[in-house]
Amino acid sequence: METRLWHPFANMAEVKDKPFLVDRAEGVWIYDTDGTRYLDGTAGLWYCNAGHGRAEIVDATAAQMRRLDSYFTFGDFSNEPAERLATRLSELAPMEQARIFFTTGGGESVDTAAKLARLYWARRGEPQRVHIVSRRHSYHGTNGFGTSLAGIEVNRDGFGPLLSDATRVAHDDAEDLRAAIERIGAENIAAFFAEPVIGAGGARPPEPGYLEAAAKICAEHGILFVADSVICGFGRVGGWFGVERWGLRPDLITFAKGVTSGYLPLGGVAAAGHVADVFWEAPGSLVAHGPTYSGHPTVAAAALANLDILEREDLPGRAVELERPLLEALLPLREHPAVADVRGGVGLIAAVELDGELLAEHKGIAARMQLAIRERGLIVRVLGGSTLVVSPPLIITEDEIGVLGKTMAEGIDAVLAG
Ligand code: PMP
């Protein structure tokens, strides 16, 4: 039967006849409708940090739904789970007096941060500060601003004119950021967006010193530093907001995914007090922005239960402990003739980039490898048609990491053997 479900980021002509139906999940495992199990090597889309099937998240969600299923938080409306979650996140955020704006996902959070950054300057009497700088290879979601900021070209192609006040710089060279600021003029720039570890653009940890240098350059020029921690937050690279290990104190942080481990859709922006105060301390200063489900009580209840688990089991600490074993499980592939690079070592994100000549000679080979690996019981993702990426749940064991490395190698070899 042909599917009627329009899959995101899909070539429907190819997948419409054979959707891969996922039926249930438990821990680090997912099961298809035939009952075959697969190691969830990607934690869904980088989100399932606490692992699947956590009854306490389900119970907290059900209890909240019975009490107050949903209610909005526009104007003066509020609810206790949203208040509790905002307080907790504000205490965890590496910034002074953080205030938390909730959205329903990462892309909405990026657009919220971009709009808040521009509005911040407008309210401070510098309305010309609208330009936004981002990095090549970066992914900032698929909403309006995020599409314009994307450093992955294919995500911008074909949609017509996007934001003209957006510039991309090298992802690994802070001097390129400095040069762009000189060219554009700091007085015209609202913000610089950066993923601590670039995720969808190829799983690229930062060059040593890069993030610190970029943050310093922004501070020198009064440009807001926005950390897009949608992937990196909630333990994925250690810490709560994914910036702590570099000692960064961003002006704004976007988050989503791991905040609920994906059990329900939630995102948000943490704003440092010095940014938020421009709005919070100005009576009559309406911010005309916000999605319907901002502060949704049931979603907040799921997040609170998830944070309990991450904290109790110290999953952010575990991600740091396991980052070396994960990288080491893939490092033997560096010697493989089909492989150009193996990246990782900062949190539970790692990638195997295939050899350029191989990719040029064999179109679609990365996708075939992904399938061969899946047939052997492991879910990995292909990024940019060239890179196989893994980002397992933070509860994965060292033995399972070993299986992951072995299965990847076997799948790659099986495709090469034809
Ligand atoms: N920013 C980053 C860094 C992301 O990785 C993603 C999603 N992969 C987004 C934003 C967009 O999030 P969403 O898909 O929830 O809109």
pLDDT in tens, 219-274: 999 999 999 999 999 999 999 999 999 999 999 999 999 999 999 999 999 999 99
- In 93-243, the DSSP E strands lie at 99-103, 131-135, 166-169, 189-194, 224-228
**Residue 338 contacts residue 382 (beta carbons within 8 Å):** no
Q: Distance between CA atoms of 115 and 102, rounded to whole angstroms?
A: 14
pLDDT in tens, 1-46: 689 999 999 999 999 998 999 999 999 999 999 999 999 999 999 9
How many other C-beta atoms are found inside a 10 Å radius of the C-beta of residue 163? 15
What distance in angstroms lies between residue 410's CA and the mean position of ligand 1's atoms?
30
Verify whether ligand 1 is closer than 6 Å to residue 231 (CB atom). Answer: yes
Residue 250: what are its φ and ψ, rounded to 5°?
-65, 160
Ligand 1 pocket check: which of 111, 198, 230 to mutate, most ligand atoms within 8 Å of Cβ? 230
Ligand 1 pocket check: which of 9, 49, 102, 257 to mutate, most ligand atoms within 8 Å of Cβ? 257
Residue ranges of the chain whose pLDDT lies below 50: none
- Please, which residues have CB within 8 angstroms of residue 44's CB and are 6 or more apart in sequence? 262
Question: What residue's CA is closest to ligand 1, atom 5?
Answer: 231
- What is the set of domains in the chain, with CATH numbers? 12-53+314-416 (3.90.1150.10), 56-312 (3.40.640.10)
**pTM over 0.95, yes/no:** yes
Q: Distance between CA atoms of 210 and 208, rounded to whole angstroms?
A: 6
Which DSSP string corresponds to 165-194?
Answer: SEEEE-SS-HHHHHHHHHHH-GGGEEEEEE
Helices (H), 1-54: 12-15, 43-46
Verify whether ligand 1 is closer than 6 Å to residue 199 (CB atom). Answer: yes
Q: Distance between CA atoms of 248 and 196, rounded to whole angstroms?
A: 10
DSSP-assigned beta bridge partners for residue 201: none
Verify whether ligand 1 is closer than 6 Å to residue 344 (CB atom). Answer: no
- Please, which residues have CB within 8 angstroms of residue 24's CB and are 6 or more apart in sequence? 30, 31
What distance in angstroms lies between residue 160's CA and the mean position of ligand 1's atoms?
21
Q: Distance between CA atoms of 410 and 305, rounded to whole angstroms?
A: 38
Verify whether ligand 1 is closer than 6 Å to residue 206 (CB atom). Answer: no
- The first and second tokens of residue 36, run together, are 């075959």
| Whether the predicted interface score ipTM is above 0.90 | yes
Which residue from 418, 240, 412 is spatially nearest to 333, judged by alpha carbons? 412
